[in-house]
Structure 1
Amino acid sequence: MPVQDFTTLPLTQAQQGVWFGQHLDPGSPKYNIAECFELRGPIDESVFRAAVAGAVAEHQALHVEFTTVEAVPHQRLLPVRPVPPEVVDLSGHPDPWAAAEAYTAADLATPGEVAVRGDLFHHALLRLAPDHHLWYSRYHHLVVDGLGVSVLHGRIAELYNAVLAGQPAPSSPVADPADPAGPAEGLRALVADDRSYAASPEADRDRAYWTSRFPHPGAAEPLTPRRPVPPARQRAAGTETGTETGTETGTETGTETRTGTETAAGPGPPCSGAGCTARRAWGPRCSPACARSAGPPAPPGRPRPSPPSPCTSTAPPARAR
């Protein structure tokens, strides 16, 4: 059993920005980060659930609760625990894809204040057919960023592949499996490094540089709640990996979409059979235009080309603004 460690740590500088931004707009889901992978081919659901649970238990940052100490936000470390993904069978639905889109849209609309109070991450394996799944994940930006998501998801694929290949799991990049306090030590080190930088001459130089670049920041915006966000706009609010929608206070507005084919090394997820592909859809929903695509559209009257067989690596996802 993991050592029960309830150490309270300060927030990093990046976390502080997200904390105050969320509290200015508590009902907004804009700090939710989500990804959705389409998995084609046979998937061992029990092995996949164990891989997700194992990877989640290695990352202390996912197992915290947020509180205030003398009006200053802090994070309290909780015991790490394996949290497997929810398995949702949509194969009997008249339109499984539409049902999956409704599921992901509803979860991504989780208000930030609800997520901060304990619903910091969520994984789900949506079964559209025996050989067709969607792997959906959602995190609050307080506990993870885009790079962190990539590390975690890569680890899940690594654990899954090892089991299918009958090999021992590779050592964790963030925690020693033999040390129950390993994940906690990693988060403590990260916070200590952040505080060390803040008090360093390097931080003073960086601050002086950026202050010289923007010498007249203007009046600070008061820390008062914004007007309530209408439900329709809450549903449309974007994330770091999807659509970013500005508010009436003048935040940045723009759209970012990335699509591409993701493959895992070895025989495991999402590539467990010849011809299977795993495609990643970024944004508030698994876009049919992205996730359903298995290649360039076929000319009229001709079948769509088959996806690569066996799965092969492809170039990184393209970025379009």
Structure 2
Amino acid sequence: MSHIDANGGWMPLTMPQLDFWEEFSFHPDKPVSTVAHCLDIEGDVDGDALTKAISETIRESEVLSVRFLQEAQGGDPLQCFDASRTPVITHIDLRDSADPLAEAKTLMEADIHAKLDLRTDRLSAQSLFRIGEKRYLWYIRAHHIIIDGYGLTLIEQRCGQLYNHLRGRGEAGKPFHSFASFLAEEQAYSTSRRWEADRAFWTQYLDASGDLPVLYRGDEDYGAPGLHHHHELSATFCGKLRETAVAVEIGWPDLLVLFAGLYLYNTLPRQPTGDREVLTIWLPFMSRWGSIGAYVPAMLVNILPFQLALDPQETLRAALARNAGILRKQRLHGRYRIEQMAEDKGVAKGSRFFFSPLVNVLPFNAPEFEGCRVTRHILASGPGDGFNLTFRGEDDGRRLTLYVDADPSMTGQDEFNRHKRDLPAFLDHCLSPDAMERPAGALWSRFAQVSR
């Protein structure tokens, strides 16, 4: 990686950015990795203050104004912050429309599915729809090469802070760090002792893991429609989950990951490694370890391979504690990039690991805007591989919704329907009063008996 000038200028791409660039080079005519959120803001909305807060937040979020350059065919691209590329808010007043909300959704969907050329196009769009006297929709769209979902959440929270300040509540707060300073911090990590220790951990872990599935970029199929389902988990379930998390001293997001992992362990093919069978589950990790990276919108999310194994003699409580300990240890080394792990394992250029099954828990509250009710809608989060489980909800574990997504070429409709039916019921079964002291290996067979 070449030297990074903290004052700006042309700078190299990070490893995840290079991965998205390679994806674009294989699929330049497809809108593959678009991310988009929409905030529904209703109430005593000050339109002028909202516009001002969004504009200032965009200005601070330098990554939204990044421009790429590839000087030679096949050469590594470069990037720079270009103030002339800063997104300008598009104001769209739909109050006179017969169905303002439907028309706004149509416009947003059209933008999400439009082709985006990383070499020439602006990489972010911002629109503010007015769909009622007291109701606005703030639409934020970008390419995954510059930002991840948590980065968009940071932008939303920062905008809420600025809006509240303009309305006389609270301080303006500190602006985001510069994009160049973030890249410099990432470069410093890549030459640090911490990087060497992280590499040693993952080398040892993956050497004991057997072969991980690999996907050739040219085989990625982004055109076929997938199978999708969502299920709102009950308030009773959410309450029991939080209570159980306290009782077993495991954070509720990790407990949910492990319960979902137990379901997948019993319903998907496992891989024999030595004297046991394991299931590799891919887990997104925010990876915001750096003091700068923690407060800058950018593409930082990592994906970690977690190998779930069960000892038939263990109680569920013991199995959860052991695997939760592995999760914590992995995250201590979670800054080490999955793209680097692939390179270390000899995965060829033009290929990557196949991230399936994947389990993602996203516990993020919608931002607060003074005098308003705010609802966040995730409109696009990029493509997924194979089979994916996503849990979205409040940061305290309330109002959880389960999303199930599958590739129909790998999961048939009947099998998908079984997952839709059995997964929520199994999660609830894991929270039954006597489950913790029963053998973890017998949990599925008991569930199968009581669910007939």
**Aligned residue in 2 for 1:141:** 144
**Aligned residue in 1 for 2:366:** 262
Structure-to-structure mapping, 1:125-274, within 5 angstroms? 125-165=128-168, 169-172=172-175, 174-175=176-177, 183-196=178-191, 200-217=195-212, 221=216, 224=218, 262-264=366-368, 269=369, 271-272=370-371
State the Cα distance separating 1:103 from its structure 2 match: 0.9
State the Cα distance separating 1:202 from its structure 2 match: 2.3
SS at the partner of 1:119? Answer: coil
Aligned residue identity for 2:83: P
State the Cα distance separating 1:131 from its structure 2 match: 0.8
Paired with 1:119 and 1:218, the residues of 2 have a C-alpha distance of: 34
State the Cα distance separating 1:226 from its structure 2 match: 6.3
SS at the partner of 2:83? Answer: coil
SS at the partner of 1:262? Answer: coil
SS at the partner of 1:7? Answer: coil
Change (3 A) 1:155 1:263: closer
**Aligned residue in 1 for 2:331:** none
**92, 97, 104: which is aligned to 1:93?**
97
Is the 8 Å Cα contact of residues 6 and 78 (structure 1) preserved in structure 2? no
Cα deviations by residue, 1:114-167 (Å, 9 ceiling, x for unpaired): 355332111111111111221111111111111211111111111111011076
State the Cα distance separating 1:17 from its structure 2 match: 1.8
Paired with 2:38 and 2:361, the residues of 1 have a C-alpha distance of: 13
Cα deviations by residue, 1:2-44 (Å, 9 ceiling, x for unpaired): xxx6512211112122221232222222311111121111322
**57, 61, 64: which is aligned to 1:62?**
64
In the superposition, the TM-score normalised over structure 1's length comes to 0.67
Paired with 2:127 and 2:99, the residues of 1 have a C-alpha distance of: 18
Q: Which has the higher helix share?
A: 2
The count of corresponding residues between Structure 1 and Structure 2 is: 258
**Aligned residue in 1 for 2:109:** 105
**Aligned residue in 1 for 2:240:** none
Paired with 2:70 and 2:91, the residues of 1 have a C-alpha distance of: 35
**Aligned residue in 2 for 1:43:** 45
Is the 8 Å Cα contact of residues 65 and 87 (structure 2) preserved in structure 1? no
Aligned residue identity for 1:129: G
Change (3 A) 1:73 1:84: closer
Change (3 A) 1:318 1:193: farther
Aligned residue identity for 2:157: G
State the Cα distance separating 1:45 from its structure 2 match: 1.8
RMSD: 3.7
Larger Rg: 2
State the Cα distance separating 1:280 from its structure 2 match: 1.5
State the Cα distance separating 1:278 from its structure 2 match: 1.2
**Aligned residue in 1 for 2:21:** 19
Identity %: 19
